[in-house]
Amino acid sequence: MKPYQAEAVILHVHEWNGSDKQVSLFSREFGKIVAIAYGAKYSKNRLAAGTQAFSHVDVILQPGRSYETLKQCEVRTSFRAIREDLTSLAYTSLVAELTLELYPEREPEPLVFDLLLNSFHLIMERNARIAAMATAWQLLAMAGYRPETEHCVVCGSPIVYPAIFDSQAGGVVCKRCGRDSGMSMMDEPVSRFIQRMLTLNLQEPERFSVSAEVLLQAEKLLLNYLLQYLEKPLQSLAFIRTISTV
């Protein structure tokens, strides 16, 4: 089979057989791709510089039985600043890991690619925590897991706040339907913030302010929602918790 070209962002890199790297990419043309970069662990290898996590690259790939082979990798944007800042690195890792969990290999999702690229720019330039939260909610929505925030997911009635956020049910539940649910409470400012995150234009985001309390509550709801639909904790969350204590 002939080699092919793709524009991609690198979501994860790890050592493979000592001297090689396994590279997980998300491409505009083909979606998620896993490739082996042979010899890329050596600094003098022509693939070493390009195969850095979160880089925006042009690649040439050789189809293989289990994995593609990375033949060429040219960097468009390195996003080096993300890798050099712990907070940016942690929240970009969350975005990358979530993408790899949500989307199967070789299913083109050009809108997801654009979202990731805009997200990396925003994480590097603005508040990494908020940028990552907006990206995560939008990735979930694009994968079919958009939470309901305006009407009760049980009876359909308009929500009067404070209400209950039930991750298992897929969104907000009115007090009557969720009377004995024991789920997390959500007030109107948190709901409005989540709605803003779901619709925020990451390429040209408007400026806004949010209180620390609302941000913390919204983040907790997001993490519970991720756990519900992924059915396992993301490894990047441990990294985020670690830097939060520094």
DSSP state string for 129-156? HHHHHHHHHHHHHHTT-PPB-SB-TTT-
| Domain annotation for the chain: domains and CATH numbers | 4-78 (2.40.50.140), 81-147+165-244 (1.20.1440)
Pair of tokens at residue 13: 């890199």
Q: Which residues of the chain have pLDDT under 70?
A: 179-182, 245-246
**Strand (E) or helix (H) holding 221:** helix 212-230
**Residue 73 confidence (pLDDT):** 96
**Residue 232 confidence (pLDDT):** 87
- 194 and 221 in contact (C-beta within 8 Å)? yes
**Residue 44 confidence (pLDDT):** 82
Residue 8 pairs in a beta bridge with 27, 57
**Residue 184 confidence (pLDDT):** 82
CA 164, CA 177: separation in Å to the nearest integer?
9
**Residue 181 confidence (pLDDT):** 57
Q: At what angle do helices 86-102 and 235-244 cross, to 10 degrees?
A: 160
CA 156, CA 107: separation in Å to the nearest integer?
34
CA 180, CA 177: separation in Å to the nearest integer?
8
CA 68, CA 241: separation in Å to the nearest integer?
34
DSSP state string for 67-124? SEEEEEEEEEE--HHHHHSHHHHHHHHHHHHHHHHHS-BT---HHHHHHHHHHHHHHH
CA 155, CA 141: separation in Å to the nearest integer?
22
Half-sphere exposure at residue 73, Cβ-oriented, CA atoms within 13 angstroms: 28
> Which residues touch 146 (CB under 8 Å, ≥6 apart)?
140, 198
Does the pTM surpass 0.75? The reply is: yes
b/e burial code for range 124-151 (CB count within 10 A of at least 16 → b):
beebbbbbbbbbbbbbbeebebebbbee
- 123 and 132 in contact (C-beta within 8 Å)? yes
Q: Work out the widest C-alpha separation in the chain, in whole angstroms.
A: 65
CA 29, CA 38: separation in Å to the nearest integer?
23
**Residue 164 confidence (pLDDT):** 92
